[in-house]
Amino acid sequence: MTSIKIALDWTPNINHIGIFVAREMGFYREEKIDLQILNPADDNYNLTPGKKLEMCIADFAVAPFETVISLNNKLKSVNAIAVFAILKEDLSSIATLSSVGINRPKDLDGKIYASYKARYEDHIVKELIKNDGGSGDIQFIYPDKLGIWNTLLQHKADATWIFNNWEGIEAASKNIPLNKFQLTDFDIPYCYSPVIITEKNNIITSRKEYEHFIKATKNGYQFAIQNKLQAVNILKEYVTKYDLNNIDLMKSLEVTAPYFGTENDCGEMQRERVEIFLKWLVKNNLENDRILLQNLFTNELIH
């Protein structure tokens, strides 16, 4: 058995369901992999998934695509690469409560945004406002990560970034109307999120084991698509008590499942989509144009 550790980006949620299913159903064991899942709540989010990869605490990390860019271009660079896209499309949005009267991004001028302090996040929000005709004059606050969603519900912030298939499901179940602004609707070509990333050197030294890991992971997501009730029953053992009490996991999976992809394309990333995002970052002076020449993702482990 090969011991492999994967660091999650968030407390267990619907985006991770294939990983938990694959472990519970024995798909990793069949591939001779002993998988340990690192929950960020265990260290209160003190170390990001990217940092755990950098420090060799984890062999894989779940993170947005921008983490790969960051790791490769920091002062002490990490030769990271994205190897599996969990979602085929961006299911996130910038959300506000409908009751506060923010009906379009430009209405966020002069308002408060609760930020996760993710790479590019604050700039993206400003560009969203500007692209809708606003000035981008918005105040950013940085609450504890686990409490960011609640700052919106408690009117301590006017907007934040959500996953429509998670917090969006909670809001719908509580009859809390949201106004949600998709980045692509305002000319921001956001990339894949979340993706599974690793270090390139690890692929070289453990190629066969890593291919087996990806195979089992892919099988986990495909199983979840075909066996929703069983998959939900597996996931509910790992989600937080708050999420279990507030989010309809079946509804969340039904919304998400079409975006896990098919047996033919599950996990794969499209070069054109990645390049469009990279060019947008360069155009907006968020990254040096060297990123256009970097090998930041691969589909070669997916079979």
Checking if the pLDDT of 146 tops 80, the result is no
Checking if the pLDDT of 42 tops 80, the result is yes
Cα-trace Rg, the chain:
19
Mean pLDDT, the chain, integer: 96
Residues carrying CATH 3.40.190.10, the chain: 2-89+192-293, 92-186
> pLDDT at position 144, please?
86
> pLDDT at position 289, please?
94
The percentage of residues in the chain with a pLDDT greater than 90, rounded to a whole number, is 95
> pLDDT at position 236, please?
97
Task: Flag whether the pTM goes above 0.75.
Answer: yes
Please tell me the CATH code under which domain 2-89+192-293 is placed. Answer: 3.40.190.10
The percentage of residues in the chain with a pLDDT greater than 70, rounded to a whole number, is 100
Residues 12-30 have pLDDT tens digits of 999 999 999 999 999 999 9
> pLDDT at position 108, please?
98
- At 72, the amino acid letter reads N
End-to-end CA distance of the chain: 21
* Bridge partners for 63 per DSSP: 195
Residues 234-276 have pLDDT tens digits of 999 999 999 999 999 999 999 999 999 999 999 999 999 999 9
Residues 103-130 have pLDDT tens digits of 999 999 999 999 999 889 999 999 999 9
**Around 165, how many Cα atoms within 13 Å sit in the side-chain half-sphere?**
22
Mean of pLDDT values over 214-235? 98
For the ranges 42-46, 68-72, 83-87, the lowest mean pLDDT is seen at 42-46
Angle subtended by helix axes 228-235 and 207-226, to nearest 10 = 120
> pLDDT at position 145, please?
79
Mean of pLDDT values over 42-51? 92
Checking if the pLDDT of 90 tops 80, the result is yes
Structure tokens at 115: 């930020």
CATH topology of domain 92-186: D-Maltodextrin-Binding Protein; domain 2 (3.40.190)
- Only one residue has tokens 């409490």, namely 147
Mean of pLDDT values over 31-60? 95
Checking if the pLDDT of 231 tops 90, the result is yes
> pLDDT at position 174, please?
93
Residues 276-302 have pLDDT tens digits of 999 999 999 999 999 999 999 999 999
Mean of pLDDT values over 129-139? 97
In angstroms, the CA 120 to CA 122 distance is 6
> pLDDT at position 44, please?
86
> pLDDT at position 147, please?
84
Checking if the pLDDT of 131 tops 90, the result is yes
Nearest to 90 by CA among 193, 197, 195: 193
